[in-house]
Amino acid sequence: MATRSASTGVLVTLVIFVILTIALLVGNILQWTQVKSITEAMRKNDEMYKRMGTNAEIGTDDVKRLETMAGSSQKKLVPYLVDLNQQFSGQLTGDRGKVIDDKTLADALKAMGVEEGGTVKSLVTRLKATAETNAAELKSLKERMDQVKAQIDAASAKAAQAGTQDSEVLAKASQALADLSAASEAYRADAEGLKQALAGAKQDFDRRVSEVKNERDSTVDGLKNDSAQLQTQLDQAQKKLSQFETGLQNPALLVDGRVIEVNGSEGQIFIDLGKQQRLQAGTTFEVFETPEQIRSSGEQGLRGKASIQIMRVGDLTSTARVIRSTPGRPVVKNDLLANAVYSPTHRYRFLVHGKFNVDGDKFASTDETQLIVQRIKDWGGTVSSEDRVTGDLDFVVIGEVPEEPNTLSPTASDQEVEGYQRAKAAKDQYEKILNDATRARIPVLNWNRFQSLTGMTD
Q: Let me know whether 156 and 268 are in one domain.
A: no
Amino acid symbol at 298: G
Domain shared by 279 and 175, yes or no: no
Q: Among 105-114, 215-224, 227-236, name the most confident range.
A: 215-224
- pLDDT tens-place string over residues 148-165: 778 878 777 776 676 655
For residue 249, what pLDDT is reported?
46
Residues 269 and 311 in one domain: yes
Question: What CATH number does residue 371 fall under?
Answer: 3.40.50
Q: Which pLDDT score is estimated for 127?
A: 64
Q: Per the domain annotation, does 454 fall within a domain?
A: no
Euclidean distance between CA atoms 305 and 281, whole angstroms: 21
pLDDT of residue 242: 45
Which CATH number fits the domain that encloses residue 293? 2.40.10.410
Give the span between the Cα atoms of 275 and 283, in whole angstroms: 12
Whether residue 80 is contained in a domain is answered as yes
Contacts 24+ apart (CB under 8 A), 26-30: 27/145, 27/180, 27/184, 28/145, 30/184, 30/188
Average pLDDT over the chain reads 78
pLDDT of residue 431: 94
**Number of domains observed in the structure of the chain:** 3
User: Nearest 5 degrees, angle CA 163-CA 165-CA 169?
Assistant: 100
Q: Are residues 303 and 162 in the same domain?
A: no
Q: pLDDT: is 272 or 68 the higher one?
A: 272
Identify whether residues 15 and 107 lie together within a single domain.
Answer: yes
Answering whether pTM is above 0.85, one says: no
> Do residues 232 and 174 both lie within one domain?
yes
Residue 57 falls inside a structural domain: yes
Q: What is the pLDDT of residue 226?
A: 55
pLDDT band at 252 (very low <50, low <70, confident <90, very high): low
The least confident of 161-165, 271-275, 360-364, 390-394 is: 161-165
In terms of C-beta density within 10 A (0-12 exposed, 13-18 middle, 19 or more buried), how is residue 163 classed? middle
171 and 196 within one domain: yes
pLDDT number for residue 245 = 43
Q: What is the pLDDT of residues 37-47, one digit of tens each?
A: 777 877 875 66
What is the side-by-side order of every strand in the sheet holding 395-398? 382-383, 349-353, 395-398, 444-445
- Backbone φ and ψ for 38, nearest 5 degrees, come out as -70, -40
Instruction: Report the relative pairing of strands 444-445 and 336-338 from DSSP bridges.
Output: unpaired
Among 338, 367, 397, the domain-final residue is: 338
- CA dist 157 and 151 (Å) reads 10
pLDDT band, very low/low/confident/very high, at 4 (cuts 50, 70, 90): low
Domain-located, residue 429: yes
Q: Same domain, yes or no, for 229 and 153?
A: yes
Instruction: Kindly state whether residues 188 and 60 are assigned to the same domain.
Output: yes
d(CA 24, CA 181): 9
Kindly state whether residues 238 and 261 are assigned to the same domain.
Answer: no
Please report the pLDDT score of residue 7 as a whole number.
72
pLDDT confidence bin for 205, thresholds 50/70/90: low
Domain that holds residue 359: 349-449
262 has pLDDT over 90: yes
pLDDT at 50 over 60: no
Q: Is residue 343 part of a domain?
A: no
On whether both 126 and 210 belong to a single domain, the answer is yes
| pLDDT tens-place string over residues 294-345 | 876 656 667 889 999 999 999 999 999 999 999 999 999 999 999 888 888 8
Q: How confident is the model at residue 117 (pLDDT cuts 50, 70, 90)?
A: low
